[in-house]
Amino acid sequence: MTDAAQTPSLADLRAEIDRIDETMHRLLMERSEIIDRLVKVKRTQTEGSAFRPAREASMMRSLVQRHRGLLPLDTVESIWRVIISTFTYVQAPYAVHADLSVGEPLMRDSARFHFGFTAPFVPHMGARAVVKTVEASKGDLGLLPAAMVPGSDAWWTALEPEQAPKIIARLPFVERADHPAGLPVFVVSHPIADAAVTEVETFSVRVAGWSAKSAAAVSALADVLAVSDGALDGAALLVSVREPGARDAVLDALRQSGASVRSFIPVGSHAAPYRFGMDSAGSARP
């Protein structure tokens, strides 16, 4: 048999592509039929947002681990994000409220990459406005910068009340050096204890006597994401604790550094980021 006889023609290859495209479309329609049945079983129309960060984290880990070939991971991740977010919207419609104080292009890119174009994007100027709007909604989500924005206040204190919105995810979940929507953001929603991921816990902390010594003492156990000084009861911190159950160790470290802890209130949790193509320190691999 000659090489020419073994080599498929352009028409043959295009027919294969058309077959695969049709199969993917039919599978998406089949997925939508299952979601329709799921809605009827769970009656999520009356339960707020159907967003489930634990399940999503598991799905994204599996996606990254099985990915291979020429297709960029960016493309695969964005496609799956749109699929997940759109079908979540079908179960229980929601809007995405975003704080633009960190810059509109970056925040809009993050929202569109992770939630697509079906869920409405609602801009706000200031994190507290986002928190307030999400709290008043039925099941909307909020996107907030996962770091201190110059000139902003300690917005995370608005998450302290028991029924206030809570951090349920941190994006991007799949971290990499060249991520097209790499702005670190928190997702907040109404509390969803039944679907929460507690691999990384976040706390609103108020301390008196906050110092460089205190920061160094805490850094081995947690990440201090933001500090707002000038409050009457001392500094307000947003602290991310990397090890589940390490809250007491962080408290001890603060006290041993000479700081006086006024409050240490949980404000949510999220899955540990999946670092793709990066070493354990978070640096890009060559």
Examine the pLDDT at 92 and tell me if it is beyond 50.
yes
Q: pLDDT band at 286, cuts 50/70/90?
A: very low
45-55 residue pLDDT tens = 455 457 788 88
Q: Which CATH architecture has domain 16-197?
A: 3-Layer(aba) Sandwich (3.40)
- pLDDT above 90 as % of the chain: 61
**So what's the pLDDT on residue 51?**
79
Examine the pLDDT at 151 and tell me if it is beyond 90.
no
The tokens of 272 are what? 């540990």
User: Which CATH code fits 202-267?
Assistant: 3.30.70
**So what's the pLDDT on residue 282?**
41
Domain spans, the chain: 16-197, 202-267
Please check whether residue 280 is in contact with residue 219, taking contact to mean a CB–CB distance below 8 angstroms: no
Q: Kindly compute the dihedral angle of the four CA atoms of residues 62, 271, 121, 155, in this order, to the nearest 10 degrees.
A: -170
Nearest alpha-carbon partner for 142 in 94, 105, 77, 104: 94
pTM to 2 decimal places:
0.87
Q: Kindly compute the dihedral angle of the four CA atoms of residues 134, 115, 170, 187, in this order, to the nearest 10 degrees.
A: 0
Written as one string, the DSSP assignment of 8-57 is PPHHHHHHHHHHHHHHHHHHHHHHHHHHHHHHHHH-GGGSS----HHHHH
Q: pLDDT band at 233, cuts 50/70/90?
A: low
239-251 residue pLDDT tens = 999 887 788 999 9
